[in-house]
């Protein structure tokens, strides 16, 4: 894997590799502890509360103490659990969460103990795909946790999360495509250098929005936290987990948050590169400073996660799926077509910007005209359907049409059959007629006939 463009990767001495691995591991654990505290404090502020402020300065050590407490708690394993899978699920979840960070760049080349090395564990031609691959392995942890608990709510949570993550991974992968097209590479370090003059978040704004939406779905965070919807599924996939195993899921969730934020930073916000006013300073993109810019950008995304959680109610599951499949994915595909066309025109036909814009305007006009024609046709169709429906409503529903019990036709209202009416008519329940007609004479039951169909409860 030592291609020419990856000259500096894969040449680190062994101690530096270990150092980087340990540093990334420690950073992720500390970031998790910090994010939990930060989330609790920010959400509290947004809800007019104070939040944890007792342990350590400003309550900073609260999540560390919670972690200790969680690890020392009694572990309860359900009798119906499938033990091997039950054990392995949190391990898969946490391991995958850590692994994804191997290809995230934190900064440019720096000197560590006299060795010139990039601030990134490793990189290879398809490292963004590697993050996707690791994420899809991480889903196994959740799905298996749900299945192996041997209990209904976790199973439902696991099913939901597998459906959700598969759906949103498609939109996520599609949002990468435009970035790949513009960067001409799938390696994280090259994507960052490709954003030198302008960030992809600006020129590929639709991709950015699609990615940010799907990354919330991918991490099971509010408003897309359906796999662990407390009101519906108790705790979702981790309902039956306690003690350290639960802590590992918790850890994985927060690391995944950091991972997707870091990926968003890398792909769309120029990674470690300094934002505009700072980039005027010549030293902004050298040495250890970029690590700070990177951290600030990632924290911005994490703040957005927290803000979303404090603001938005949970979506309904069917709406969530519809949003993913019928909105995000088609829009992504259309946007990729636009980007690819523009790119191809620029590469092959040598069109100027004005010509491309003019062509785009013509295409938009054609699309608008086409959609207007389709729309007016559809309106006419709907009007015809409404007419037919009104006609169907005009003819009353006959539950015994042709002498057989039949369901109502489309548009017809189903009506309950009263035994009394049956008794009065000349239909099948003749033998019950005497006792029914006896009840009929009672004035109390003659109260106004119920028209609404609402059922009790």
Residues lying near another protein in the complex (CB under 8 A): 1, 3, 82, 85, 124-126, 129-130, 132-137, 139-140, 143-144, 146-147, 155, 158-159, 162-163, 166, 169, 173, 186, 316, 410-411, 416-420, 439, 442-445, 447-457
Nearer to another protein, 125 or 360 (CB): 125
Nearest approach, Cβ of residue 399 and another protein (Å): 13
Q: How far apart are the C-alpha atoms of 182 and 347, rounded to whole Å?
A: 12
Residue with tokens 């699309």: 367
Nearer to another protein, 281 or 382 (CB): 382
Q: What is residue 84's three-state secondary structure?
A: helix
Nearer to another protein, 56 or 223 (CB): 223
Nearer to another protein, 29 or 314 (CB): 314
Closest CA to 145 of 76, 93, 206: 93
Nearer to another protein, 35 or 122 (CB): 122
Nearest approach, Cβ of residue 213 and another protein (Å): 20
Closest CA to 187 of 239, 142, 129, 265: 129
Nearest approach, Cβ of residue 42 and another protein (Å): 31
Residue with tokens 């502890």: 33
Helix/strand/coil (H/E/C) assignment for every residue in 260-298: HHHHHHHHHCCCCCCCHHHHCCHHHHCCCHHHHHHHHHH
Nearest approach, Cβ of residue 243 and another protein (Å): 24
Nearer to another protein, 348 or 452 (CB): 452
Q: How far apart are the C-alpha atoms of 110 and 310, rounded to whole Å?
A: 39
Nearest approach, Cβ of residue 334 and another protein (Å): 18
What the block records as the tokens of 131 is 């993050």
Residue pair 37/254 in contact by the 8 Å Cβ criterion:
no
Closest CA to 47 of 306, 345, 407, 317: 306
End-to-end alpha-carbon separation of the chain, Å? 65
Q: What is residue 405's three-state secondary structure?
A: coil
Nearer to another protein, 65 or 232 (CB): 232
The torsion angles phi and psi of 434, rounded to 5 degrees, stand at -55, -50
Residue with tokens 């097209």: 181
Residue pair 260/267 in contact by the 8 Å Cβ criterion:
no
Q: On the CB side of 134, how many CA atoms lie within 13 Å of its CA?
A: 23
Nearest approach, Cβ of residue 280 and another protein (Å): 35
Nearer to another protein, 9 or 199 (CB): 9
Helices (H), 184-288: 188-194, 200-203, 205-218, 230-233, 243-268, 276-279
Nearest approach, Cβ of residue 321 and another protein (Å): 14
Q: How far apart are the C-alpha atoms of 31 and 207, rounded to whole Å?
A: 27
Nearest approach, Cβ of residue 275 and another protein (Å): 30
Q: On the CB side of 334, how many CA atoms lie within 13 Å of its CA?
A: 11
Residue pair 52/59 in contact by the 8 Å Cβ criterion:
yes
Nearest approach, Cβ of residue 388 and another protein (Å): 12
Nearest approach, Cβ of residue 145 and another protein (Å): 12
């Amino acid at each position: 894997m030592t291609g020419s463009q990856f000259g500096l990767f894969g040449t680190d001495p062994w101690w530096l590799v270990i150092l980087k691995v340990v540093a990334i591991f420690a950073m992720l654990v500390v970031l998790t502890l910090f994010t939990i505290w930060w989330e609790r404090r920010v959400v509290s502020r947004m809800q007019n509360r104070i939040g944890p402020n007792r342990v350590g300065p400003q309550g900073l050590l609260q999540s560390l103490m919670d972690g200790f407490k969680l690890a020392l708690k009694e572990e309860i394993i359900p009798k119906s659990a499938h033990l091997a899978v039950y054990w392995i699920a949190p391990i898969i979840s946490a391991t995958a969460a850590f692994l994804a960070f191997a290809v995230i760049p934190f900064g440019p080349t720096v000197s560590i103990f006299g060795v010139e090395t990039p601030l990134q564990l490793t990189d290879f031609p398809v490292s963004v795909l590697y993050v996707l691959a690791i994420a899809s392995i991480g889903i196994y942890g959740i799905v298996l946790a749900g299945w192996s608990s041997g209990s209904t709510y976790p199973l439902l949570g696991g099913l939901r999360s597998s459906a959700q993550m598969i759906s949103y991974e498609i939109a996520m992968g599609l949002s990468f495509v435009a970035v790949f097209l513009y960067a001409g590479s799938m390696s994280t370090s090259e994507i960052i250098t490709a954003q030198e003059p302008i960030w992809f978040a600006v020129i590929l704004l639709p991709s950015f929005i699609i990615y940010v939406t799907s990354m919330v779905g991918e991490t099971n965070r509010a408003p897309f936290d359906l796999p662990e919807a407390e009101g519906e599924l108790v705790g979702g996939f981790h309902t039956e987990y306690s003690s350290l195993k639960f802590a590992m899921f918790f850890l994985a969730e927060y690391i995944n948050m950091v991972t997707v934020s870091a990926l968003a930073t890398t792909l769309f916000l120029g990674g470690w590169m300094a934002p505009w006013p700072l980039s005027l300073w010549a030293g902004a993109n050298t040495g250890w400073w970029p690590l700070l810019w990177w951290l600030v950008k990632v924290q911005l995304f994490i703040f957005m996660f927290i803000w979303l959680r404090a603001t938005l109610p949970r979506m309904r599951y069917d709406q969530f799926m519809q949003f993913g499949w019928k909105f995000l994915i088609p829009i992504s595909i259309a946007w990729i077509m636009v980007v690819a066309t523009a790119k191809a025109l620029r590469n092959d036909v040598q069109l100027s910007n004005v010509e491309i814009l003019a062509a785009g305007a013509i295409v938009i006009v054609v699309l608008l005209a086409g959609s207007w024609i389709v729309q007016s046709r559809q309106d006419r169709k709907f009007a015809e359907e409404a007419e037919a429906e009104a006609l169907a409503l005009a003819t009353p529903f006959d539950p015994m049409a042709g002498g057989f019990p039949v369901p109502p036709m489309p548009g017809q209202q189903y009506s309950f059959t009263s035994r009394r009416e049956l008794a009065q008519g000349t239909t099948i329940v003749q033998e019950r007629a005497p006792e029914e007609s006896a009840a009929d004479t009672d004035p109390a039951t003659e109260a106004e006939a119920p028209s609404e169909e609402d059922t009790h409860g």
